[in-house]
Chain A
Amino acid sequence: MLDGSFSTVGVIAIVLMFISLVILLGPIFARGFGAFVFKGTVEYRKLMLDKFGRGDRERIIAEVAGAAKTREPVYELMEQFRVELKEKDYDYRSRYGQPFKELEELVEDLFGPAPGSSMPVLVRGQYGQTRWDRANVKLGNILFIEEYDYSDSSKMGELVLVPRADLFAGTSLEPLFRLLESDIEKMMRPRTTVYWRFLFDGSYDSHFFGGIWPELLGTFYLAIGAMLFAVPLGVITAIYLAEYAGDSRFVSLLRTCISSLAGVPSIVFGLFGLAFFINAIHVSPSKSVLAGSFTLALLVLPTVIRASEEAIKAVPRSYKEGAMSLGAGKWRTVVTVILPAALPGILTSIIISLGRAAGETAPIIFTAAVSVGKPLALWETMSQPTPALPWNIYNLATEHEAVDEIRHVQYGMVVTLIVLVLLLNITAIVLRARISKKLRG
């Protein structure tokens, strides 16, 4: 009885772990997929044609014209009401003036600027909703007003949807809502769209449109830059620890330092990077990829050292003896025999550290990351800050002016980052499995 329940509890703990992984990744993958594959409206195709020059020009222009035609009745109804407003008395105007203005804005939000009106400066204002799911949300906003019902004082206000049509009941505008509801598909023309270029497009109007290439590239720069510094340092340290160091006091101090470094909170690395690399030795005038890479390199250094040391220690002694017996010096032995034999293991550690460096946010906040930026050329990394996936996920999810409007971009970034990191880790796991198979066999 005790035995059985004990095992059960243990199994439940593990199942819970599985569940948390699924709960964590499930919604992220499901919604992140939507950044790449979604129903794009005619506005999307117009945007792609205007900004990226993609698509069949003739066909898209024809399609836009077709959509505009179906939208005409809407604008006619509104124009008619506008005239009506002017003609009616003050009471009427004060009753419908404000709600109508609101409605006009909502319609512009859905369809983009009305024909004949002036073009807004911001790109987001120049187009209607490019995604069918967002268009439906906007349509919902037109059709219904969200109100909170506070009649039950013991509870928090309850959300109630009031049809906007009620507001305009009896006016010439009333048919507009039915028209919108029934013809929205014709007006927006949703079509399933695969936007794989999400990864490689720059963003327009702070991520309202376009892709995440600057962030992706910045992440590559930072992670690879970090490894450029961490790998030589880490592998050489590992060689020293595994092959040269004895059991002296210095070596045990060194080991303590390495494990301490591994325990330093990542935000402290960030502050240190700011205080040292930027403010003290001025590797760059302000934030830069270089400073961020240095900081990240320190962060992953202990991981690289430990894993590489293990890999080197796993190399059979006999290889070393063989090389030595042929007259190879110690360093020669290390370089020509031990390192090649340990290479898969070292590679595993590098891959895992690469994933770690790519996903860290706190160390780059003060040293490398900016919210908006262009993709950098290689030489610019020495002095320029960059957007990076982890930082921009934070930034878009908390500080962006329209957090709710660009959920799909946030999810897209998160999925990209996760896939990147997990791919690296899976590679490492597979590599390690092959090594251990080889060592066993």
Chain B
Amino acid sequence: MNNDIGELRKPEIRGPDRSPDRTGSIITAKDFSVYYWKKAAVSEVSFDIPARQVTAIIGPSGCGKSTFLRAINRMNDLIPGCTTSGLLSLGGQDLYSSKVDVVSLRKMVGMVFQKPNPFPKSIFDNVAYGPRIHGARDRGALSNIVRRSLERAALWDEVKGRLSDNALGLSGGQQQRLCIARAIAVEPKILLMDEPASALDPQSTSRIEDLIGELRREYTIVIVTHNMQQAARVSDMTAFFYEGDLIEFGETTQIFTNPTEKRTEDYITGRFG
């Protein structure tokens, strides 16, 4: 699987997969806002993110796209002074209800960060970290999970001989794929990716993009990127954020070929950002 991925190029713009089984939405935002100390970083956005598709969120830096992404698995909870209003739901459940178990939520919504952040542990322990937290103890089962996750992240062949090596010894691209493996090891439904390739070289970037293409069969993927070619390459749907507002949301082909909003067009054509 690994060997042919490098050469396999996806078409420049891929239309949304319109097969009928892919139309249900999984995440719904309705008048959803995020504030830092009363200042709105995301203000009253409303849109539905479809299941098992790749949704890209684009926009200039500081537009609130990362904040929105991190609101989905409530990573913003860590930031002091961060509050929300409106509705953000997953499978119909309000995520900011007091009854929501954040641990289960994060198990269900995996995340990959801008900079690869493997723990300073062995490769095995990195991938096994999530399953262990959620109660897996059996060594055999764990190695199965680790192997499967690494395979799905297209990293297995490269590291299978040195699972006990420190993960920090891997290259940047490998580290990022390890992080993806780590995220999918807990069997999430959704994968959030916060500019997953921005710290990587072009070759590693293309491998990550290919990987996203593979993973969309099984996961709902939300990816934040400021690289518009990347958004166009990997996503089915695209949302354009600008200064905390959602300007436009639609199929990627439509956004990139025929945006309805002037600002979207300006951004995509490189007038600003």
Give A residues with C-beta under 8 Å from B. 246, 316, 318-329, 332, 336-337, 340-341
B80: A residues at CB distance < 8 A = 246
Q: Are B113 and A321 in contact (CB-based, < 8 A)?
A: yes
Interface 1/0 per residue, B90-114 and A, CB below 8 Å: 0000000000001111110011010
Q: Are A340 and B78 in contact (CB-based, < 8 A)?
A: no
B183: A residues at CB distance < 8 A = 325-326
A322: B residues at CB distance < 8 A = 113, 117-119, 179, 182
Give B residues with C-beta under 8 Å from A. 73, 75, 78, 80, 102-107, 110-111, 113, 115, 117-121, 129-130, 133-134, 179, 182-183, 186
Q: Are A327 and B119 in contact (CB-based, < 8 A)?
A: no
A328: B residues at CB distance < 8 A = 103, 129, 133
Q: Could you tell me the distance between the alpha carbons of A393 and B235 in the complex, rounded to whole angstroms?
A: 75
Q: Are B110 and A325 in contact (CB-based, < 8 A)?
A: yes
Q: Are A340 and B121 in contact (CB-based, < 8 A)?
A: yes
Q: Could you tell me the distance between the alpha carbons of A336 and B104 in the complex, rounded to whole angstroms?
A: 18
A320: B residues at CB distance < 8 A = 78
Give the top 8 A-B pairs by smallest Cβ distance, nearest first. A318-B117, A325-B111, A327-B106, A326-B130, A327-B107, A322-B117, A327-B103, A328-B133
Q: A319-B117, A325-B183, A326-B183 are in contact. Are A336 and B129 (CB under 8 A)?
A: yes
Q: Are A325 and B119 in contact (CB-based, < 8 A)?
A: no
A327: B residues at CB distance < 8 A = 102-107, 130, 133-134, 186
Q: Are B106 and A326 in contact (CB-based, < 8 A)?
A: yes
Other A-B contacts than A326-B107, A326-B186, 4 sampled, CB-CB below 8 A, are A325-B73, A325-B75, A325-B110, A325-B111
Interface of A is mostly: helix
Q: List 22 A-B contacts (CB under 8 A).
A: A318-B115, A319-B117, A319-B120, A321-B78, A322-B117, A322-B118, A325-B111, A326-B129, A326-B133, A326-B183, A327-B103, A327-B104, A327-B106, A327-B107, A328-B103, A328-B129, A328-B133, A337-B119, A337-B129, A340-B119, A341-B119, A341-B120
A99 CB to closest chain B CB, in angstroms? 79
Residue from the list A323, A324, A329, A332 in contact with B119, Cβ < 8 A: A323
Q: Which of A322, A324, A326, A332 has the largest number of chain B CB atoms within 10 A?
A: A326
Q: Could you tell me the distance between the alpha carbons of A332 and B75 in the complex, rounded to whole angstroms?
A: 16
A48 CB to closest chain B CB, in angstroms? 52
**Who on chain B is nearest to A320 by CB?**
B78
Q: Could you tell me the distance between the alpha carbons of A320 and B80 in the complex, rounded to whole angstroms?
A: 15
A325: B residues at CB distance < 8 A = 73, 75, 106, 110-111, 113, 183
